[in-house]
Each structure stands twice: as structure tokens, then as C-alpha cells.
Structure 1
Amino acid sequence: MSTRVDGPSSPIIESRDELVAYLEKGCKPRDTWRIGTEHEKFAFYQKDHMPVPYEGDRGIGALLKGMQDRFAWDPIIEDGKLIALNRTDCDKGGSVTLEPGGQLELSGATLENIHETCEEVRHHLVETEEIGDELGIGFLGLGFTPKWTLRQMPMMPKERYRIMANYMPKVGQLGLDMMFRTATVQVNLDFADEADMVKKLRVGLALQPIATALFANSPFTEGHPNGFKSYRAEIWRDTDPNRTGGLPQAFEEGFGFERYVDYALNVPMYFVYRGGRYIDVTGASFKDFLEGKLPALSGEKPTMADWSDHLTTAFPDVRLKHFLEMRGADAGPIPNICALSAFWVGLLYDSQSLSDAEALVSDWTAEEREELRDSVPRRALDAPFREHTVADIAQDVLAISEAGLERRSHLDSKGRDERHFLRPLHEALEHGVPADRLLAAYEGRWQSNIDRLFEEEAYRIRPLETA
């Protein structure tokens, strides 16, 4: 989730047309399209496998400070607390931020190909592991915390999270679980113009459950199997119906930037940032704000920075900002981070693949798309679709993506194109999704001991140093 910092004053918004123009600024020529990959991971103490609080000599704050001092990150401070890191002056840029329960997120730089994406991920994990090992902290890529209760989860010192946490129980049963106990990986991709945006958005929304199934990796709750392959995806079904879901209006005739603006205008707000502080405006709409009718700021109109903030608080399966965010995958093993970016790049950045994917989903009804969203969290690739299963669809989609990556022909130093990054998805189709592998281990060699998951699945790039 984005982190707001003070900067130059932002222009006042005078009309709805300016909001549309803001989204239109995302249009880019094809040769400037880039790839932005974000991944979250849970921090845990290596000694007892418990979550890491912000405070203390071995807390998340100390981890960020260690990364700042050793690896030349720029600090982002809120109310005297180091809450994020930013790097804008080198080729391994991007930012490191905190999700509500201490999930550490890398929001990567905009890169040209998946080879660069994977190098960026590796570089980041080397840094986090070096500081983490010194503090006794490990990192785990999973869609949902496998062991910890909601009460055990820490809260990071970000005011926007306090506001959201107070509001979530009013609109859904699982919003707090979403905030504190889930982790995801997503890829951000560009579009050429409005028509290209709409085509990519529709394909992304229709196929998001297929990605959810392939990357399903959250089968445990508080130490035991929970009956789902992607419990993270199930949680999103009962978080806040006013800001989540499959965005059915995107499939209606005439959808474009204006219709997305109308959607976002009616998404309830969380906060407004003023004078270095977050003001609670939960429940009010941005439409009210645009008309100067926000009770907390009577007569005041929003700025473009307010609009940018607000767009980050809508949570459809594919989110539109100056780019499109593919948001349907559980966090998982390191190769899966690269695989997600490769999957969507192959589908959406090659014109033939995009057309093929569009044709594949063109006759899916709104009811069928919703049925996929409902059934995939529990059954993943075994979920039914028409007379087939999601695995059958995934096989076709993966072939389309692979062909797109081959046509892109971005080669690494060994002469390999980006197709090899899809290997984890082929393995999921052949041997089962990540959740299947974890459940088999739990029922077999782990002997129902969930702590074994932390020992075997923790991220590890560099050798573990012993004291």
C-alpha cells in the first residue's frame, strides 16, 4: 500500500474532467511500457516463529533502519517513526513499505523485462536477509499467516492503518484479516490508450481467478488446514463490497476512463492527508469532496494528491491508476514472484496474445466470472467451469502467455527468453499448486507441525550465518 509524504502543494481539482485527464496521463507509447512488480512477505522471529513488532532493538523499525544505514535507502518518516524506504537515484530503485501487520513490501522500479525484475527481487532479498539474520528475523512468502491469530498481529505506526482498522468491521467480516494477515504479489503494467486499457482491464479481470488458482498458497489458519487453497482470495470476498470485486461495469458497452472515474467517485473514502496528518473521513464519498461537501473539511475541495490517495483505497481485482495493477495472486516462493510478472506480461504486452486472451474470455457471462471468483479460493485448479475445470483454462492461458513471451524475445546473458520464468506454473498444472504441496508436507513429513513450514519455506538467497 502506498505511503504519503509531504511535498509541493498539489493543484485544486475544479471538475470531474480533471479526474478523467489524470487517468488519461497513464497512456504511453508501446516502446516505453515497463513492468513494476510488488511483493509482500511476513517477517517472523527465527527462534520462535512469531510475528515481529515495530518497536524494539529487533523490531521492524530496527530492520528498516539497518537497511537505510547499510544500503543507502532514503528514509520516509511519519510522526517521528521510520515507516518506509525510498530509492530514486539508481537502477535498483523503488521503495520498501510496511503493510498493516508488518508485512514487508518491495514496490519495485519500472523495468524493461522479467530478467531485470528477478534480479531486483534477488537484490532486495539479499539486503533484507543480511539485516534480518543479524536481528534473528526471517521472511515467509504465503498468502495468509499460517500460525498467528489476529490478536497476535502487531500494528505498524501508520495513521492511515488505524483509520482503516476502525472502519473495516463496519463493512465486512474479514477486513481486519485482509489488513493484518494476508500477503500478495502483483504486477503493474502500462497501456497505450483508452481502448488498450479497456481490453487489458477486461482480460485481467476475467482471468484473475485463473491467476489466483495457479498461485494459490494460503491453506492454513492458526496452525491447521482451513479448507481453502487460497484463503487470501476468500477473505477478499468479505472485506468491503463497496471497493472490492470483479468490477462488472468494466464489461459494459462504453466503459472507459470516465466510467472508472464515476466508480471511484462513489467508493467510500478512508482519510484525507493534511499538514502531515491523516484525517478520518470514513464513509464519505469523493464525489462529496469534489462538491465541497466533506463534513470534516467543510467547503474545501480536493487536490490531485487527494485523488491519487483515494485511488489506492479502491480494491477491485484489477485496479486502474496511471497503470493497471494485477492483484489476484497469493504471495509465494521466490520463483513465483517472477512467474506472476511473466504470466501477465506474456498475456498483455504482446498484441497477438492479448487478442487471443480476449477471444478466450469474450463469451464468458458476468455470472460465470463471478462463479469463478467464488469457487477458486477453495478448489483452485479443480474448480469447475462449464464442462471443464480451471486447470483446462489455465493450460490454454499459459500457452497464450508463453507464446507472447517468445515473441517479445527479451534475452538474458545466457540467451534465454522470458519463458523459463513460467516454469512454476507448468509445475502447478502438473503436480499441484503451492497450497497442494504445503498440505502434503503438513499431512506427511511435518506430522501436522506448522512450525516446520517456517523452517522449510522461509526465503533464503544467501547462506545462513551462524553466531
Structure 2
Amino acid sequence: MSNPGESDPTPITSARQLAGWFAAGSKQRAQWRIGTEHEKFGFRRDDLSPPPYEPGGIRAMLEGLTAFGWEPILDRGNPIGLKRGEASVSLEPGGQFELSGAPLATLHEVRDEIADHLREVREVAGPLGLGFAPLGFHPLATREQMPWMPKGRYAIMREYMPRVGHMGLDMMLRTCTVQVNLDFGDEADMVEKLRVSLALQPLATALFANSPFAEGKPNGYRTLRGKVWTDTDPDRTGIPAVAFEDGFGFERFADWVLDVPMYFIMREGRWIDAAGIPFRAFLEGKAADRLDGETATMGDWADHVTTVFTDVRVKRFLEMRGADAGAPVYLTALPAFWVGLLYDDAAQKAARALTKGWSVDELRALRDMVPAQALQATIGGRRLQDVARDVLAIARDGLKARGLGEEIHLDPIDAIVATGQTQADRWLERHATAWGGDVSKIFAEAAA
């Protein structure tokens, strides 16, 4: 989840404004960039417990990072994020530390940005007795043992989540992801990229599965984080069928988002609880009694879009949301996977041809299978492991066509595709052998 952006007080006077908000993200190919966001769990090195906001925890981390030129972002006087140039650091509800990277031109720059961030985090965390591990689901802590960060929006979501799903609080507190943000050229390009990436998001979830433990034992899944997202909030998650309908584009997507329930609006630094109210009702003035008579602005719309948690989120770019956080090489491998597929015309066409026959029902069934089965799940009579070979070949060709030597960043996925053994499978093997059944040993080995 991002830090709150600058509010745009422009009144909304027509639905066309909302579609235009998305369309404004269209860019010429030369301006296309790569943005990577990744989260990691903090832990106290002495007892492996999740650090609180304060004392000696997440707040101290944020304050310590200002030595590297980061500027604090405040919520009611509390530092809850950092900003440096076009990059930011933000906090997930349970203190998961997130880098939202700058828009970069190459995957080599992405790799270097990740390495620099992790180095800074280690330098600040060391004297505090803290470590950070990128894993998809917290391997030890119960929901009750996770701290809550002092961000106003999280208090509203904390109350709302249990009304709409069984695992929304787990999503907030006990999951970590790596996400990739990519640009589109125009409406037609957005539609094609969205369809390809929605169709292949379950494959990405399988390839990067990295959450086989919960509360100190194997949990029965390769990606428990993937399972969590199937029972969080059906109004705003998953694979929206509208994306595959004839005539889909910015207007159709905006119309769909209008019916997604809101969480909040912000006025003068104050969060107003709007949980459960569709944005359409807000826009039509049907919720004035709950929202202090406020009327909808484009800033409200921009905030609302950040609370749509589809597997691929349309903003002024496309946000790939399917993967567990993992080791640093996988944090670069994920953007390499998507850039290879979507930033070369021939690769994008090949990926679309491979997936075009898959129905929404098949994709949703695959999404449900993947958390437990990973690459052994099937679609169209084929194992995902076999599909992955074809898709990885397309992605590699797409990166070669860019002529920047970026295909090396796909190498970490080769072994996964060749063997069918994900990061989660390797952790399970370590658990059964070298660790002697002690899940806590994962922190030392996974620490970034």
C-alpha cells in the first residue's frame, strides 16, 4: 500500500473525468519505465519477534534512514514513510517495510536500486538489533502478535476487513509482496497488457511462491499469501471479468471501479470513515450523512483507486500484484519476467496468443489451485510448469530484443521452471533436513 499522495481538490463533474484520469497515464514508448515495490518483515534478532512501531522499532528505522537523504512523511505527527526523489518507503499495517522504487529505464538500474536500499536498511537495522526478511507470509507470528502501525487508514480497514472476508487482517498484517509497475502506450495497449498480465498472474504467483510456513509449522501451501488473497474482499480483488469483455477500456474500467466500496476519504489531514460506501454513491451525493456533507474530488478518486486490489491494478500504469516477496535475485527476476513479456511487441503478441483461449472461469479456477499446487496446477490440460517454459522463452526473447543484456535477470527462474521446485519447496526441504523441523531458522537464511 502506498503512502497517501497529494490531494487534488478538483470537483468531479462527469464520469468522463474518471476515465480521463486513467488515460492520462498513456506514454510514448521512449518514456516507458519500470517501477518495483517490495516488502519485507522486520524481526528482532534476539527473539525473532516482530518489532513494534516504537521504541527501538519501525519508527527508529524510518528516522535512521533520514541519514541517507530520505525525507519523512508524517501522519498525525508520526513518521509513517519516507520520500527521496521519485522513490518512497512506506509501512504496511504490521510494520512490513516497503520500498516503492523510482521509475527506472533498465532492469540493471532496478537491481542496483534494490541493492542500495537493502544496504541502507542493514546499516540502520544493525545497531537496533533488527533484521529484515522478504517472505510471502510471516513464518512464526500469530495475527495477535503482529503490531499495528499508526496510520489512520489502517484503523478504518482493520474494522472493515472482517465484514467482507476471513483473511483480510492476515493480508494486512502477515503478508509481503513484490510488485512491478509498467507503462502503457494508449488505451488499446493498456487493454492488451492488462489481459496478458491478468491471464499470467497465477503463473507468476506459482513461480515466486515463498510462503510455506505459518505460526512455526508448514501450512499446507506453497504460497499462503496467494491463498489469503482468495478470501480477503471479493468486491475489490481477483480477476475482474470486465477486463475481458468486448469494448473494455478506460471508461468501462472506471465504471467498474465506481461500484467498488470505499474505505475512506481524507480532509485536512483527517481520515473520514467511508467503509462500504460505493464510490458511485459518494459521487451521486447519496452518502452525505456519513461523509460530513463532503463532495467527491479527483483526489478522492485517486485515493480510491489505490484500494482496488485486483491481481493487476490499473492506475496511470499497470501494477502486477501476484508474487510473494523473495530473495533479492527474485526481486529483480519478477520485473524481468514482466518487462520481457510486455515491453516488446512480438513478445506481447506471443503471450496474448498463448493465453487468449483461457476463459475467465478457467483463470479463476487456476488462481484457486496455485496456492497449494504451485507449478503442478493445470490449465487447458497443461501443467503450469510446462506453460512456464513457453512463457519464460517468450520473456527471454522480449528482453533480448531490448538489446540491454537484461535477460540475465531471468536466470534465477530457470531452475524453478526446470525442476518445478519453488522457493517454498526449497524452504520445506530445509525444514525437513538441516533445520530439524525448526521454522525459526528461516530468518537467518532469508535475511536480505
**Per the shorter chain, which TM-score range?**
over 0.9
Partner of 2:44: 45
Give CA deviations for 1:366-391 in whole Å, capped at 9, x if unaligned.
Answer: 22111110101101001122332010
Instruction: Normalising by structure 2, report the TM-score.
Output: 0.98
**Which of the residues 263, 269, 274 maps onto 1:270?**
263
Partner of 2:2: 2
2:322 counterpart SS class:
strand
Q: Which AA in structure 1 matches 2:403?
A: S
Partners of 1:98 and 1:356 in 2: how far apart?
Answer: 38
Question: Which of 349-358 and 41-50 deviates more?
Answer: 41-50
Partners of 1:282 and 1:22 in 2: how far apart?
Answer: 23
Please tell me whether the aligned partners of residues 274 and 291 of structure 2 are also in contact (alpha carbons under 8 angstroms): no
Question: Which of 419-428 and 200-209 deviates more?
Answer: 419-428
Please tell me whether the aligned partners of residues 158 and 169 of structure 2 are also in contact (alpha carbons under 8 angstroms): yes
Please tell me whether the aligned partners of residues 114 and 418 of structure 1 are also in contact (alpha carbons under 8 angstroms): yes
Give CA deviations for 1:278-336 in whole Å, capped at 9, x if unaligned.
Answer: 11111101101111222323553211111000000010000000000000000000000
Partners of 2:333 and 2:185 in 1: how far apart?
Answer: 24
Is residue 81 of structure 2 the alignment partner of residue 87 of structure 1?
Answer: no
Partner of 1:22: 21
Please tell me whether the aligned partners of residues 6 and 276 of structure 1 are also in contact (alpha carbons under 8 angstroms): no
Instruction: Normalising by structure 1, report the TM-score.
Output: 0.94
1:151 counterpart SS class:
helix
Q: Which AA in structure 2 matches 1:447?
A: G
1:55 counterpart SS class:
coil
Partners of 1:272 and 1:430 in 2: how far apart?
Answer: 48
Partners of 1:399 and 1:46 in 2: how far apart?
Answer: 41
**Which of the residues 410, 413, 433 maps onto 1:422?**
410
Is residue 295 of structure 2 the alignment partner of residue 306 of structure 1?
Answer: no
Partner of 2:324: 330
1:296 counterpart SS class:
coil
2:73 counterpart SS class:
strand
Please tell me whether the aligned partners of residues 34 and 111 of structure 1 are also in contact (alpha carbons under 8 angstroms): yes
Partner of 2:231: 238
- Cα 1:55–1:298 change in 2 (3 A) is closer
**Which of the residues 176, 182, 195 maps onto 2:188?**
195
Give CA deviations for 1:88-134 in whole Å, capped at 9, x if unaligned.
Answer: 2xxxx400000000000000000001000000000101100000001
Partners of 1:161 and 1:257 in 2: how far apart?
Answer: 29
Please tell me whether the aligned partners of residues 292 and 298 of structure 1 are also in contact (alpha carbons under 8 angstroms): no
1:297 counterpart SS class:
coil
Partners of 1:430 and 1:139 in 2: how far apart?
Answer: 29
Is residue 216 of structure 2 the alignment partner of residue 223 of structure 1?
Answer: yes
Please tell me whether the aligned partners of residues 339 and 425 of structure 1 are also in contact (alpha carbons under 8 angstroms): yes
Mapping of 1:285-300 within 5 angstroms?
285-294=278-287, 295-297=289-291, 299-300=293-294
Question: Which of 39-48 and 295-304 deviates more?
Answer: 295-304
Q: Show structure 1 runs of 5+ residues with no match.
A: 411-416, 460-467
**Which of the residues 150, 158, 161 maps onto 2:151?**
158
Q: Which AA in structure 2 matches 1:327?
A: R
Partner of 1:349: 343
Partner of 1:439: 428
RMSD: 1.0
Q: Which AA in structure 2 matches 1:423?
A: D
Partners of 1:99 and 1:128 in 2: how far apart?
Answer: 16
Partners of 2:294 and 2:307 in 1: how far apart?
Answer: 21
Partners of 2:360 and 2:180 in 1: how far apart?
Answer: 24
1:102 counterpart SS class:
coil
Q: Which AA in structure 1 matches 2:69?
A: A
Q: Which AA in structure 2 matches 1:356?
A: A
Residue 138 of structure 1 deviates from its aligned partner by 0.4
Q: Show structure 2 runs of 5+ residues with no match.
A: none
Is residue 49 of structure 2 the alignment partner of residue 55 of structure 1?
Answer: no
Please tell me whether the aligned partners of residues 273 and 291 of structure 2 are also in contact (alpha carbons under 8 angstroms): no
Partners of 2:400 and 2:40 in 1: how far apart?
Answer: 30
Partners of 1:299 and 1:225 in 2: how far apart?
Answer: 50
Q: Which AA in structure 2 matches 1:81?
A: N
Please tell me whether the aligned partners of residues 13 and 303 of structure 1 are also in contact (alpha carbons under 8 angstroms): yes
Partners of 1:368 and 1:423 in 2: how far apart?
Answer: 29
Please tell me whether the aligned partners of residues 15 and 290 of structure 1 are also in contact (alpha carbons under 8 angstroms): no
